Structure 1
C-alpha cells in the first residue's frame, strides 16, 4: 500500500511542474554538497521554512537510501510507527520503501508496523520532494515518533545505527524549533537546543528541551538521529541556517523557529 500525499497543495505546491520549480529554487546552488550522516530539517509550509530546508539539502549529498524520522503531531498510532510496505507518493512521483532497511528497522526497540500515525502527518511528507530533487531514485524507511523517554531515544538510536551499518542511509530528523513565542525568545531558547545538537550531544539535547520547556516539536526524532549518528562515527555538525516565520509574516511577537543542520 502506498501512502498518498496528505498536504500537497497546502504545505507545498500540488502540481508536479510547480513543485519541481519551487524545490529547485529553494535548493539553489548545490555545488558544495558533501556526504552526511544526518540532517536536521524543518517541516512547515515551504513559504515559511522552505528556504532553510532547501539550504540544508543543498549542502547534503543524498545517497540511495534515507531514514526519515518525524514527530507525531496527530497523536494517532504507535509510539514508534514504521510505515510497513509500499511507498510514498508526492506530486514529483513515487518514493519506494527500501524493503531490506525497513525490515531491519522492525527489529529495533519499540518499533511497530503502523500506518495510522503516518496517514495525516505532514512532518515526514514535506521532506520527500527535497530528497527526490537531490536523488530521484532515493528509497526510504519511514518512522513517526511519539513521546519517548530519553533512554528509549538513545536505545532506538543505537539500534538504528546497527541497522544502518549493513545498509547505509542518510538520517533525516524532521523538526521545527520554538513555537508561538517572540522572535527574541525563540532565538534564545533555540540556541540552547542547537548548541547541544551541534555538539552531537543527544542526551543533552533531550534534557535541555525538557528542562527549558523549548517547544521543539521534533526533539525526539532529533535525539534518536543524533544518537545513531554518534554510534555511526559522526564527528561534527554545522548549522546551515536559522530563521523564523516572522521573516515572512512580519509578526515578531508570535513566531515559529526553523533550523537546518548537517552532521558529518
Structure 2
C-alpha cells in the first residue's frame, strides 16, 4: 500500500472537503466552468497536466479531466499511465511500482500486468517503490481520476512512472515502451504527463518561456522541447514525462495536440513577482 504523502498540503485530507475542492476547480473562473460528463472512449489520448497544489493549479488541471470525461467509458477498464518527475531524489532513475495507492477518496489499483511487462522489457525502468514514497507529481492526479470514477465516468487502473532521469534518450525510450506494451496487451490507454512549467519567474518572463515549451508540445516536437528547455533555461520540472507522453502517442499513431488552458499562480493569487506556470494540453 502506498499511503498519501501530500494529503492536507497539496489537497485536502478530508474526503468531503476534497470533493468540494475538486468541484470548485471545475467551476472556477480559470477552470472549464462546467462539471465533467460521460462521453465515449474512441482512441488513446495524452494529457499535459499540472501537479502543484490544487488552490493554484487545480482549475487548470480540471480542463484536462474535463476533456478526459468526454473521452471515457465506464463499461470497460482504462489503463491510465501517469508519468511524473522525481522531486525527491530518492530511488531509481526511472521507476514503476505495482502496489495499491491510497488517497482520502479510497484505493487505486495498479495495472500489474502492464507494470511488470514494462519494467521487464524496458531496461532503463526499475520496479522500485522508493522513488514514489514521498513524490507528489503522480499522487495529486489520483483524486481527480477517482472523482470521475465516483461519477461513473471512468473505470481505471494506473501505471505510475517516476522519472529522475529526464534526458532525451531516456524519455523517448520510456515513451516507446509505453506504446509497445499498450499494443501488446490491447489496452485502452490514457497517458498523463504531470508537469508544471516555469518556476518562480516574474509573470512576463514566465509567460514567454512557457509559450516556447507549449509551442513545442503543440508541434509534437520532442527534440525541440528538450533543446529549448536546456537552451532557454526553462524550469519546467516534467519535460521528460512530456517527451515520453508525446513519443508514446506518436508510436500509437496519434499526434494532434491542442492547448486547453494556461495560467500562472499569479493569475490565482494576484502576486505576479514570482509565479509558476500551468497548462493543460490534450494529444489525440
Interval containing the TM-score (normalised by the shorter chain): over 0.9
User: Structure 1 residue 128 and structure 2 residue 151: aligned?
Assistant: no
Shift of 1:25: 2.8
**What residue number does 2:30 align with?**
none
Provide the residue aligned with 1:44 in structure 2.
52
After superposition, the C-alpha distances for 1:25-55 in whole angstroms (9 at most, x for unaligned) are 3233324866552100000000000000011
Q: Which residue of 1 aligns with 2:105?
A: 92
Specify which of 91, 94, 111 is matched with residue 77 of structure 1.
Answer: 91
The residue that corresponds to 1:7 in the other structure is: 6
CA distance in 2, matches of 1:210, 1:238: 24
- Distance change >3 Å, CA 32–CA 16, structure 1 → 2: closer
Q: 1:155 — aligned with what?
A: 173
- Shift >4 Å, 4+ stretches: 31-36
Q: Which residue of 2 aligns with 1:246?
A: 266
1:257 aligns with 2:257: no
**2:92/2:126 contact within 8 Å kept:** yes
Name the SS for the 2:80 alignment partner: strand
Q: Does residue 115 of structure 2 align to residue 116 of structure 1?
A: no
Could you list the runs of 5+ residues in structure 2 that have no partner in the other structure?
27-33
Taking the aligned partners of 1:134 and 1:230, their CA distance within structure 2 comes to 26
The alignment's TM-score, normalised by the length of structure 2, stands at 0.88
- Mean Cα displacement is larger for which, 203-212 or 29-38? 29-38
1:59-106 C-alpha deviation (Å, 9 max, x unpaired): 1134621011000001110010111x2210111100001111111211
Report the Cα offset of residue 4 of structure 1.
0.2
Task: Name which of 231, 235, 253 aligns with 1:233.
Answer: 253
Counterpart position of 2:62: 54
Deviation by residue 1:127-178 (Cα, 9 ceiling, x = unmatched): 0011111235321011100133212211221111101112231101000000
Paired residue secondary structure (1:66) = strand
**Secondary structure of 2:182's match?**
helix
Moved more, 22-31 or 92-101: 22-31
**Matches of 1:102 and 1:247, distance apart in 2:** 38
**Alpha-carbon separation, structure 2, partners of 1:109 and 1:243:** 37
Q: 1:237 to 1:34 in 2, by over 3 A?
A: farther
Report if the CA contact (8 A) 2:166-2:241 is conserved: no
State how far apart, in whole Å, the 1-side matches of 2:13 and 2:37 are: 28
| Maintained 8 Å contact 2:175/2:248 | yes
Residue 35 of structure 2 corresponds to residue 29 of structure 1: yes
Q: Number of matched residues?
A: 262
Query: What SS does the aligned partner of 2:3 have?
Result: coil
